[in-house]
Amino acid sequence: MGLHGGTKTREKLRKYCVGGLSVFVDTAADISRLRVTECEEIPMTGGSKMSHTSSSPSPVLLYSEQIPGGAHWSMLMRRGHVLRLIDTEGGGASDKNSGTNVGMLFYNPANPLERYNAPDTLKCQHTFKLTAGHCLYSDMGRIFCSIIADTCGWHDTVAGNSNRSIVSNKWGARNYQQYRNERYQNGYDSFLVELAKYGLGRKDMAANINWFSKIAADDDGNLRYITDNSKAGDYVDLRFEMDTLVLLHTCPHPLNPADEYPRKPVTYQIFEAEPLGDHDICRDHCAENQRGFANNHLFHQHSVPTHQCGAHAEG
């Protein structure tokens, strides 16, 4: 018995969601393969758990997967769901391949011309870093997602992507033909591979986010990579405020000075978001965010449902 129901009726199967899409699961093997559970409490910042009552059920963990270092992935995140990114291994200044990094881009799946805008995200919230309370904006003034929890405290969206030249100059060149899954991938080419799966290309590339990475600027404006920014178990929670095509990679940050190619795995989890309350850490962070949420409200009043879109991974 698999996901399609076989000879059994759907009433006899257990219903789950994966990435916001409903599936029907029968056997324990199916559940294990999908890595979903019916109900699991999700710890929030500071080790506390999301509060729940009879009218506010415990958040349901829908899916969990680990992405190896030096890989890429893409998926459709539905509005009203949370994507949690977890630094699996961490690494300090003495780690020769220190530096967990998750490069990420956002697109509106109904109109890919609408995409993540790093300058607007920073300037409208008067910040140089990203952390809890911040929203991630599109170039049309709408909010793709909000950072509702963060144990790391600093994420970069200024330094951009590694490319083939940066990686080969620092760590040498390793291609797939010779090294298979041990090849050295870079952020720019990884994004291009994922973009191509949706009919997009170089012209659709935008300035990206680098989760778990911190940079510092000196008095002359030179940027320096901070090697011990994130530790094992640190996480960041993104609550999606609109359907969003998410592209990500686990390739090194372009300023990472590690002696060896950093191949740091990251775990991601998807679960249902709680409804917005009267007070919200992201919406109420500043007046600009309140206007961003208002723009989202107008968009959803006049939009049509997004066509379903699958998840694609490549290591």
Q: Output the pLDDT for position 79.
A: 98
Distance CA 269, CA 240 (A): 13
Indicate the range of 19-28, 50-59, 249-258 predicted with least confidence. Answer: 19-28
Checking if the pLDDT of 38 tops 80, the result is no
Q: Output the pLDDT for position 305.
A: 60
Chain mean pLDDT for the chain: 83
Distances (CA, A) of 243 to 66, 297, 300, 312: 23, 13, 10, 17
Checking if the pLDDT of 269 tops 70, the result is yes
With b for 16 or more beta-carbon neighbours within 10 A and e for fewer, the 209-231 pattern comes to bbbbbbbeeeeeeeeebebebbe
Checking if the pLDDT of 51 tops 60, the result is no
121 assigned to some structural domain: yes
Q: Which of 265, 256, 167, 263 is nearest to 215 (CA)?
A: 256
33 assigned to some structural domain: no
pLDDT in tens, 216-261: 999 999 999 999 999 999 999 999 999 999 999 999 999 999 999 9
pLDDT: which is higher, 25 or 132: 132
Indicate the range of 86-95, 117-126, 193-202, 232-241 predicted with least confidence. Answer: 86-95
**Which helix (H) or strand (E) segment is 301 a member of?**
helix 287-302
Q: Output the pLDDT for position 46.
A: 35
291 assigned to some structural domain: yes
Among all chains, which residue has been given the structure tokens 């008095």? 219
Q: Output the pLDDT for position 91.
A: 76
Checking if the pLDDT of 298 tops 90, the result is yes
Q: Averaged over 197-215, what is the pLDDT?
A: 98
- 8 Å CB contact between 143 and 300: no
Q: Which residues pair with residue 217 across a beta bridge? A: 223
- E strands within the chain? 14-18, 21-25, 61-67, 72-77, 81-87, 102-108, 111-115, 135-137, 143-150, 209-211, 214-217, 223-226, 235-240, 244-249, 266-272, 312-314
**Position 228: which residue type?**
D
20 assigned to some structural domain: no
Checking if the pLDDT of 30 tops 90, the result is no
- Domain residues for the domain of 228 are 63-304
pLDDT confidence bin for 312, thresholds 50/70/90? low
3 assigned to some structural domain: no
The DSSP bridge pattern shows strands 266-272 and 244-249 to be unpaired
Number of domains in the chain: 1
Q: According to DSSP H, which parts of 25-152 are helical?
A: 28-34, 118-123
Question: What is the DSSP secondary-structure string of 148-206?
Answer: EEESS--BBSSS----HHHHHHHH----HHHHGGGS---HHHHHHHHHHTTT--GGG--
Q: Output the pLDDT for position 60.
A: 86
pLDDT confidence bin for 18, thresholds 50/70/90? very low
Checking if the pLDDT of 65 tops 50, the result is yes
- How many CB atoms neighbour CB 65 within 10 A? 15
CA angle 302–308–310, rounded 5-degree value: 145
Q: Output the pLDDT for position 118.
A: 98
Q: Output the pLDDT for position 58.
A: 65
Distance CA 289, CA 293 (A): 6
Q: Output the pLDDT for position 20.
A: 37
238 assigned to some structural domain: yes
pLDDT: which is higher, 120 or 23: 120
pLDDT confidence bin for 303, thresholds 50/70/90? confident
Q: Which residues pair with residue 314 across a beta bridge? A: 72
Q: Which of 216, 227, 214 is nearest to 259 (CA)?
A: 227
288 assigned to some structural domain: yes
Checking if the pLDDT of 27 tops 60, the result is no
pLDDT: which is higher, 306 or 176: 176
46 assigned to some structural domain: no
Going by C-beta distance under 8 Å and a sequence separation of 6 or more, which residues neighbour residue 181? Answer: 68, 315
